[in-house]
Amino acid sequence: MITTSALTKRYGPVLAVDRIDLDVRAGDIYGFLGANGSGKTTTVRMLLGLVLATSGTITVQDRPMPKHAAQVLPEVGALIEGPAAYGHLSGRTNLTLLDAAGGAPRVSARGSGRPDRARRIEAVLEQVGLADVGRRPVRTYSLGMRQRLGLAGALLRRPRMLILDEPTNGLDPQGIREIRELLLALNRDGTTIFLSSHLLAEVEQLCTRVGVLDRGRLVVQDDLGRLHAPTGNTVVITPDAAPARALLGSRVLRVAGDRLVVHGADPAAVNAVLVGAGVRVRELVAERRTLEEVVMAATAPAPAVVDRHGNTDVQVTTDAQVTTGPFGRSADTVERREEAS
């Protein structure tokens, strides 16, 4: 539903987006991850025809962009770098003006025509939980309410595809949960969702496919299930770390306190060896990488791993224990950001 080929954007000497090949399929919830300044927003803006690509091609809903923007964009709902509305007008009036601006068709198969405008506005306000705000002007809204209003604007035309940039920014945990459930429900009804975020947890809970952008390059693009696949190692937690290490010898890849990472995909086999020798085992599980580890391995300090393999399917073999860095402690960062704004 979205494909780009060698999409590049150069701002003067700065290469903001460097030959990326996105592949978002129909029905996906695609998580587009990247640190601040990695080129996410520039990419999103190019997909929507706001920023013109330096080179490369974009197809959205099977049609080239931005050439066919007039046909493509009515089927796309978007939230770009935070919501925006006229502060002196109410949320309802803002949605009315936004809907009228696009020149709604009088009749539409999907019920998105002009006569349905009032009904559609009530419906989307209900969907995002803003039905009760009444006539208050938007400047009195909280950040979370503005975010909901922005989402309502994106949903207004009942789009087949949503392109959302940080959709849960500014929402409280309850709100984040509501929006997540809303997006999942829309996706079940056939809406393809392209979600750009720097929140790994959000993407992990919501998405089926993931793309990771690092300094303008797409360093990972794969199904979340495959990224989470077992690594072929087993994690052992044991109070007898030293004897266990001696017993397993070169099969032990790493030790951290009572935690050992052992080569071998079958925990049962590892367990048999350890228990047979009288080593106590507290916990035993096949190692799976978290999304954070995948992202860290692919992005820090240099995307050499991906270069070596010559493709963007990550095959990371090194360990990634970094917990800080561009994505680290994402939850804290968000909290602080909310307070600051």
Partner 1 sequence: MIAVELSKLYRRPRTWAALVLLVALPTVVAILLATTGVGPRPGQGPAFLSAVLSDGSLFGVAALAIVLPLFLPISVAVIAGEAVAGEAQAGTLRYLLVRPVGRTRLLVAKLVAVFAFVATAVLLVAASGYVVGKALLGDGSVPPATFSGTSLTPAQIALRSVLAILYVMLSMMGIAATALALSTFTDSPLSATLGALALLIGSSLLLTLDAARSLQPYLPTRYWLSFVDLFRDPILWRNVERGVGLQAVYVVVLLGVAWANFQTKDITS
Task: Rank residues 69 and 252 by Cβ distance to partner 1 and give the closer one.
Answer: 69
Contacts of 200 (CB under 8 A, 6+ apart): 33, 291, 292, 295, 327, 330
Count of residues making up the chain: 341
| Binding site residues, partner 1, CB under 8 A | 45, 48-52, 69-70, 73-74, 76, 78, 80-89, 97-98, 100-103, 153
CA dist., res. 221 & res. 238, Å (int) = 36
Separation between Cα atoms, residue 235 and residue 286, nearest integer Å:
6
Angle separating helix axes 117-128 and 173-188, nearest 10 degrees? 130
Smallest gap from Cβ 51 to partner 1, in A, equals: 4
Q: Name which of 64 and 230 has its Cβ closer to partner 1.
A: 64
| Nearest distance from C-beta of residue 9 to partner 1, angstroms | 8
Min dist CB 32 to partner 1, Å, is: 17
Q: What is the DSSP string of 184-224?
A: HHHHHTT-EEEEEES-HHHHHHH-SEEEEEETTEEEEEEEH
Rounded to the nearest whole angstrom, what is the least distance from the CB of residue 82 to partner 1 in the complex?
Answer: 7
Q: Report the residue number, 83 or 267, with the smaller CB distance to partner 1.
A: 83
User: Residues 6 or more apart from 173 whose CB is under 8 A from it?
Assistant: none
Q: Which is nearer to partner 1, 62 or 81 (CB)?
A: 81
List beta partners, residue 4.
58
Q: Which is nearer to partner 1, 74 or 129 (CB)?
A: 74
Minimal distance in Å, beta carbon 265 to partner 1? 47
